[in-house]
Structure 1
């Protein structure tokens, strides 16, 4: 272990007072911006973590008590990295036994989710490079960017147009080789069809090699939905898609292979016909139910989703007669939770939904769900 406090980011600048007495910063890395501050011999020992008052905020810094020299850590644009005093204290505790992170400390990392992105990125980048932290610490990275990028590609594969999302390097402390191919795949579907196979193959191949337990379960489920679509749109991708799907279906970080049995999610798979383009506004989909769902509802269960006036009709058929009652929602924040009603041998629910596209997935809750 290395208890020395060193920079988290690659760039630092010394703090000093300008002629008017105001705090100012010196040059990046003492004039050598190609150097990596984390490797500089100047920070070998005797530095302490601090939160430097910077106007009405605090920024991440280090101070050398013997000389009273202080440096401020900088982001990719050379701006000070903003930090709360609570987060600075947490980083200080983490650095005392660096790079060891036990389960109790990993739980505290969840409080960093509200901190500025550069702070989260540089902390986890260095921690990943020098230690073996629990997978759960990576949940504070901006996985919503991945989710939005996946949704955009899925929309394009369905004949629509999704948001243009720039993931950049923000997820690389957790997984490498995913953001780039995903963004390239989005570009291929928008303007460069010649890149489609190259980008899709790279994404699928890389997904078989990344530490998927670092990816939050909800994001893995969205990736699985995209992987299934890619395997169906081009036979050249089918084998790679099957391999990637098997890896993504592996165990969740620090937990079971699937979400708790009291709830389960199901991806929507649009229904189409071979050789025909996907409709711009798909009206029917089947539900890709998980193994845990089949265990609760019966091995022959089949789920469909279809449009109706004012919403979506969700139908579960071929149920085990002993299958429990349940509710369904889209899983989005604030989405209504609708109970199923029995119609003969099937269960049916009508979800409010007025968007042209179908939801990516549905979430089902069983009566013994503690939530």
Structure 2
């Protein structure tokens, strides 16, 4: 049996629903820009989402929808998304799951299609509060109260789901690139229908292009000691290198656990260079005019290299820059960056400055498996 057929077969699983309950729409009073104007709550049944279009609830420009739903009819979610994408009378909507609420199954797919519109282009707009639950699995194909569909109808829906996720993760339709991250397709199709894959770490939310309404890294207080600054720099370098080149550090398609393992112990990679991490340069830059205090360090180690370049020429250094604010008990770091570049003839005893050689994903001030 081919891989594609197995994937599509997994999508066609039918599940029996309990008593039919209708999801409801409620208008909210936004307390600020980008706050929720609408709340959809309850199971998703046929017509529950699209009724908001007929009732004019989505006539405002790019309203944000708060979602609190265990899921339900994927066909209804598809109908709502397709209506939003029409060339005439289409609409944008942002999404959010609030603290204490949940958005599971087909609701989570709807959540990921949250988009807003800026001055020039649409961009992903999906928000997750601390304590919210967002869970994915292979989609259910059956409406809760509808009679069982024919095999042909079920298979048709499976094809539409697979194509929808693939198309939106491939087409560059926003200022941030593809509307959906490529990891989403593997995450959804790789989770059996009877299971639930929760997104509960800040790092995986970042990978999936989900905005966290609380910056837990910036709000953390760190000890301002040389040993701790070195530890943070190494942790940032390992994590940033792992997620920047993440397609090289997973075994069979996207698996966040593979990335956690590699960021925790970079020697698990197929190729490593001899030696341990070494800090070659440290410098603390005092605040100047409107510039905050900074800490800059340059590191090398077995973890930093251009994947698939099987030569010493692939070895890199990592430059970390931390912007710091002094607070009681230590420092907070509202912004930081990691840069990678090839060693070459670089004098690591000096600050090489920021580079644009590699398009890095900077992350790792907190461990990647930190719960959100």
Question: What is the TM-score of this pair, normalised by structure 1?
Answer: 0.29
Q: Which has the higher contact order (CA 8 A, sep 6+)?
A: 2
Question: What is the TM-score of this pair, normalised by structure 2?
Answer: 0.29
Q: Write 1 or 2 for the structure with the bigger share of helix.
A: 1
